[in-house]
Amino acid sequence: MAEWTYAEAIRQALTDAMAEDDAVLLLGEDVALGGPFGVTRGLRERFGAGRVLNTPISEAAITGFAVGAALAGRRPVVEIMFMDFITLALDMLANQAAKLALLSGFQQAVPLVVRTQAGIYHSAGAQHSQSLEAWLVHVPGLAVVAPGVANDAYRAVRWALRQPGPVVVMEHKGLYGRRQAREALEWDPQWRPGPQLRRPGRDATVVTYSAMGETALAAASALERDGISVEVWDLLGLSPLNLEPVLESVRRTHRVLIVHEAVVTGGLGAELAARLQSEVFDDLDAPIFRLGGRPVAIPFSPPLERAVIPSAEAVAEAVRTVLA
């Protein structure tokens, strides 16, 4: 079966959506040139300058522009080049895009997609590496998806472009080159970005998303050699959060570890832990454990950069703790 990379899957999703719906347009810094990771390469040539808009470095204005275009019935896809820069667009996202449907008494809708990429990769440094999803899921009216594999990335972007309200697609720069067997993807309008089972297991459940899915799978493989069977779930959708399959898993394994790259303090893991304990407290044989980034600015030096986010070894160790 043919393979594709995570970046190619996103490009294909944008291409298919643009071919199907004239209302879809792309805008962002350097998108006409493909962007720093080549995700939008070739789209300007195919769809023209009227639908692929290269913008100045003005994150707030281009996001606000997209809100206005969405109010007028378009489906803009804004690229925020690095998730760290979403800080500059947060007023437009949190105070305008997320709220206008309700504030207008539902006269208006803002079908806006923001693509951005997060995560640690090759010493990008403290202002080009952060995972800031916790800030976004705190805003009612914003949906957030964080695909961990190419096929999910394709579906997530197609799904985002069918939503009535704003969606942030949080990509991971470390995943763009990852290959996966390409599934025959007939677009299914019933599809929702819910938890994906990455590996079945008996002894403990690991709940994660984005690039930490790979880390969790590596840990699970290592633990298997010691006879420990770990089930790995990739959330994919961060807001709204559908935890049903994960709850089922925890009811079987009775032990759960939450892993994310984002700083652990106030991270999505806290929300997950709170929801899990309220649903499956009686099924738990151990406290819910969280593993996330250290609460520091991400250092530049490669060994230090690797050390501030969970490694496969750290995940394996945490699973052993949950099992103890």
- Residues interacting with other proteins, by CB under 8 A? 55-56, 58, 60-74, 76, 91-92, 95-96, 99-108, 164-165
Q: Which amino acid is at 267?
A: G
Residues in a beta bridge with 199:
232
**In the complex, least distance from residue 32 CB atom to other proteins, rounded to whole angstroms:** 14
Q: Check 29, 79, 128, 231 and give the catalytic one.
A: 128
Q: Which candidate, 174, 266, 187, 265, places its Cα nearest to that of 213?
A: 174
| 59 tagged catalytic | yes
CA distance 71 to 301: 44
| 128 tagged catalytic | yes
**In the complex, least distance from residue 89 CB atom to other proteins, rounded to whole angstroms:** 10
**Residue pair 262/132 in contact by the 8 Å Cβ criterion:** yes
Nearer to other proteins, 104 or 265 (CB): 104
Nearer to other proteins, 64 or 213 (CB): 64
Q: Check 59, 133, 214, 305 and give the catalytic one.
A: 59
Nearer to other proteins, 115 or 255 (CB): 115
The terminus-to-terminus CA distance of the chain in angstroms comes to: 42
Encode 89-104: b = buried (16+ Cβ within 10 Å), e = exposed: bbebbbebbbbbbeee
**In the complex, least distance from residue 169 CB atom to other proteins, rounded to whole angstroms:** 19
Nearer to other proteins, 36 or 165 (CB): 165
Q: Is 184 exposed, middle or buried (0-12, 13-18, 19+ CB in 10 A)?
A: exposed
- Helix, strand or coil, per DSSP, at residue 107: coil
**In the complex, least distance from residue 27 CB atom to other proteins, rounded to whole angstroms:** 9
CA distance 232 to 213: 8
**In the complex, least distance from residue 21 CB atom to other proteins, rounded to whole angstroms:** 14
Q: Which residues contact 227 (CB under 8 A, 6 or more apart)?
A: none
Nearer to other proteins, 64 or 148 (CB): 64
CA distance 191 to 159: 7
Q: Which residues are catalytic?
A: 59, 128
